[in-house]
Amino acid sequence: MSSSDPERATRRWRLDLAYDGRAFSGFAYQPRLETVAGALRAVLARTLRLESEPVIVGAGRTDAGVHALHQVVHVDLPAQPRTRGALEPDRLVTSLNAQLRGRVHVLAATPVEDTFHARFSATWRAYRYLVCVDGPRLDALDALCWSVPGPLDLATMNAAATATLGSHDFRSFCRRAPRSAPEDPITRLVHEARWRVVADPFDLVAQGRFVRLDIRAQSFCHTMVRSLVSTMVAIGQGRLAPDTVASRLEAPGRDRLPAPAPPAGLALVAVGYDGPAS
């Protein structure tokens, strides 16, 4: 608990979230745009009758259109709220979800130590990217996956995914941060990257199939997963050489690489705080 003044004392809370990225201009708060953090700030301020909206800190900043099945944030809230019982965890979750109406879903609300930091305490993040191969072009599919023509050589794509394992300079696959130089490395540590065929329980693609990239790393840079996906799909289609990912990790450069895959196929699925998951 911070602050010695009882009226200003706060307690840190961890909120676990899921959200539909189509409704938002990304996760991070932007004053004139609808974002996940902005929506959560507004409902917390309204629920707890706060004088100003609280600051939301997320484990990762998902881009516009990217979904989350399990995002983690922290927020400092009054230790003594004006509304009696408002910070009982179950009541808080129920109240927030009723107001967020399915755009964002709060999975859990847990008081934590002030030393917990949603971003800096995290030791890994896991994403998945869903691709629909030879399926019909339907809005329902485009909201959740990237529809591409096949066939795809999954073995070749997995060889490319394996090349990302370990610590590498991902400049070829990341959007450069402002005020950084082209020669500055963008080093990331990848723990897992694997393509697999996944089930289609609703028979949405009777003539096709779903394939998914599961990738887990200590952290990710901007557009890293989507850029890797588009490159690996091009490899699987035979449009790029099988060693393209490996060679661009050795000699960074974005020339002649495809644009990042669409955001709707991407979802943040887990955040870890206890070392890399096995």
What average pLDDT does range 161-170 have in this prediction? 98
pLDDT score of 75 more than 70: yes
What average pLDDT does range 183-197 have in this prediction? 95
Burial of 275 (0-12, 13-18, 19+ CB in 10 A): exposed
Beta bridge partners of 210: 132, 198
Share the mean pLDDT of the chain: 92
pTM: 0.92
Q: Where are the domains of the chain?
A: 10-111, 124-272
Distance CA 63, CA 26 (A): 4
Contact 87, 81 (CB under 8 A): yes
pLDDT for residue 244: 98
Is there a catalytic annotation at residue 114? no
CA 110 to chain centre: 21
**Any idea which residue has 């809230």 for tokens?**
77
Contact 263, 66 (CB under 8 A): yes
pLDDT for residue 77: 95
Question: Is CATH 1.10.580.10 the classification given to domain 124-272?
Answer: no
The third-level CATH classification (topology) of the domain covering 10-111 is Alpha-Beta Plaits (3.30.70)
Q: pLDDT tens digits for 4-22? A: 454 568 999 999 999 999 9
**Any idea which residue has 């130590």 for tokens?**
113
pLDDT score of 100 more than 90: yes
Q: Which of 20, 63, 114, 153 is flagged as catalytic?
A: 63
The answer to whether the 10-111 and 124-272 domains have the same CATH topology is yes
Residues 6+ apart with CB under 8 A from 132: 141, 145, 146, 147, 148, 204, 205, 208, 209, 210
pLDDT band at residue 277 under the 50/70/90 scheme: low
22: region left, alpha or beta (phi > 0 left; psi from -120 to 50 alpha): alpha
pLDDT for residue 209: 92
User: Tokens standing for 195?
Assistant: 């393509």
Weakest-pLDDT range from 46-55, 89-98, 195-204: 195-204
Distance CA 221, CA 205 (A): 32
Distance CA 1, CA 76 (A): 9
pLDDT for residue 72: 98
Distance CA 102, CA 267 (A): 16
What average pLDDT does range 119-138 have in this prediction? 94
Residue 178, SS3 per DSSP: coil
pLDDT score of 220 more than 90: yes
